[in-house]
Amino acid sequence: MKILVVNCGSSSIKFQLYSMPEKRVLAKGLAAKIGEEGSALEYHVGRNAYQVDRAIPDHGEGMKQILATLIGSEDAILDNLDEIGAVGHRVVHGGEEFTGSVEIGQAVLDSIERCSDLAPLHNPANLTGIRAAMRALPEVPHIACFDTAFHATIPKMGYLYALPYEVYKKYGVRRYGFHGTSHRYVAAQTAKLLGKAPEETNCITCHLGNGCSMAAVRNGLSVDTSMGLTPLEGLVMGTRSGDIDPAILFYLADKGYDMESLNKMCNKKSGLLGVSGISNDLRTLREKSDQGDSRAQLAIDIFCYRVKKYVGAYMAVLGRVDAICFTGGIGENSAEVRAAVCRGLEPLGAVLDPELNERRIGHEGDFGTKNSRVRLLVVPTDEEGVIATDTFDIVMQGKTYDGNQLLPVAD
């Protein structure tokens, strides 16, 4: 079966076409700057790269161009669109309604729309992509896979904030967590690398990129995570502040900042960019630091220190930790960040091997010493592969979402 995986943002559509169940990628690409000047479609088939410089005024046109490349391009993969057996969609926020991936019907669309209040930057864009894909491919099943679903197992003491309880009951204010498909994949892959069953594995997963989050995984299940009601909480990120004293916002409001400017500051102007004043890209900051820029180095130091703090907290939460796992663009490719995070963890059983750490850049495997009680691992993530697998399993099992019963997440 061929499955199309779609990840729709406010001005972009990422896609991958899989052959299942072998999970082989046939094509992948990105429709970027949708509705803007300079919009274009880039895609890869095998080692061949292509670009279509054609206006993409909206997501419907973006989906049409993506499907057209699959059947009518120079390196077409499909003879016709009937070969696509299902479409899997990334959805950022499922609230408390979705604990697993589900087939999309009107009830699911309505639920995703209700959750848009909790994720106003993400869910409306996800819905736009789903509707565009459903119009383009109306005869095939469409499956929603939620970033929040993996964290549905966090206990109440872990997800509730110490605010008046009615704020949770009335408005759903609680920790939800994100990057769930990534944490889920990394936790499962870690169990394989350790030669253990997922239900016997405790690990700390560190998804470090422009957006960053961590999860404490006990017996294969998420029991805590760093992001909260929104993706703003937790670690320092590319442009997001992560944890701050909330009274800072009240203080700045008294100084004349309005809600819009505070929101923009915390989400778009903070993090690595805000501290350094240069860039949200860690590679750029590394170059500037090497040239003597102290604020670039300070931004890197704060970033690494915050990750280390969460590692310590999650080691306390889990008690027994089998592995600390790094994934995402920074986690997989920055030996410097991994070294900084792990420095000083030796008394806690995590001992880094500097040579192995350098050799693991972009490659899966251990970077701890042979006598490290806690395994240190690089595990490249595969969020699209998780969505493809869930989509395949749901379609092949013939299960549907009836509005009451939620599907379990596939192994």
Beta bridge partners of 145: 90
For the chain, what is the largest distance between any 2 Cα atoms, rounded to a whole number of angstroms?
62
pLDDT for the residue numbered 269: 97
Question: Is residue 110 annotated as a catalytic residue, yes or no?
Answer: no
pTM of the model: 0.92
What sections of 269-347 are H helices per DSSP? Answer: 271-276, 282-290, 294-318, 328-333, 335-342
For residue 57, name the pLDDT band (cuts at 50, 70, 90).
Answer: very high
Measured in residues, the chain has a length of 411
- List beta partners, residue 29: 15, 43
Is 395's pLDDT higher than 60? yes
Exposure string of 48-80, with b = 16+ CB inside 10 Å and e = fewer, is: eeeebeeebeebbbbbbbbbbbbeebeeebbee
Would you say residue 1 has pLDDT above 60?
A: yes
Task: Give the residue from 190, 196, 225 showing the smallest Cα distance to 318.
Answer: 225
H helical segments located in 47-122: 59-72, 106-114
CA–CA dist 359, 114 (Å, integer):
46
Residue 350 in tokens: 């995590």
Three-state secondary structure call for residue 348: helix
CB half-sphere exposure, 235, CA atoms < 13 A: 29
Q: What is the pLDDT, as a whole number, of residue 117?
A: 85
Tell me what percent of the residues of the chain surpass a pLDDT of 90: 81
pLDDT tens string 85-100? 999 999 999 999 899 9
Q: How confident is the model at residue 76 (pLDDT cuts 50, 70, 90)?
A: confident
pLDDT value, residue 404: 35
Each residue of 113-161: pLDDT tens digit? 998 888 887 888 899 889 989 998 999 999 999 999 999 999 999 999 9
pLDDT band at 364 (very low <50, low <70, confident <90, very high): very high
Distance CA 210, CA 353 (A): 26
- Contact (Cβ atoms closer than 8 angstroms) between residue 244 and residue 212: no
Q: 5 versus 406: which is more confidently predicted?
A: 5
Relative to beta strand 2-8, strand 84-91 is: parallel
* Residue spans of alpha helices (H) in 172-293: 180-194, 247-254, 259-268, 271-276, 282-290
The structural domains of the chain, ordered by start, are: 2-146+384-397 (3.30.420.40), 196-380 (3.30.420.40)
Half-sphere exposure of 309 (CA within 13 A, CB side): 13
Determine contact, residues 183/222, Cβ cutoff 8 Å: yes
- The pLDDT of residue 58 is 87
In the chain, % of residues over pLDDT 70 = 96
pLDDT at 38: 87
CA distances from 219 to 61, 176, 262, 326, 357 (A): 44, 19, 39, 18, 27
Quote the pLDDT of residue 398. Answer: 66
Secondary element (H or E) of residue 213 = strand 212-218
Q: Could you tell me which residues come within 8 angstroms of residue 159 by beta carbon, excluding any fewer than 6 positions away? A: 151, 174, 175, 176
pLDDT digits (tens, 9 = 90+) for 230-270: 999 999 999 999 999 999 999 999 999 999 999 999 999 99
Give me the pLDDT at residue 409, please: 37
Rounded-to-5 percentages of helix, strand, coil across the chain: 40, 20, 40
**Residue 88: which of 380, 381, 389, 382 has the closest Cα?**
389
pLDDT at residue 399 in the model: 57
Span of 292-301, 322-331, 402-411 with lowest mean pLDDT: 402-411
Q: How confident is the model at residue 84 (pLDDT cuts 50, 70, 90)?
A: very high
In this prediction, residue 402 carries a pLDDT of: 38
Of 42-56, 132-146, 179-193, 243-257, the poorest mean pLDDT is in 42-56
91 contacts 146 by C-beta, under 8 angstroms: yes
Residue 321, pLDDT above cutoff 50: yes
> Which among 147, 224, 322, 390 is annotated as catalytic?
147
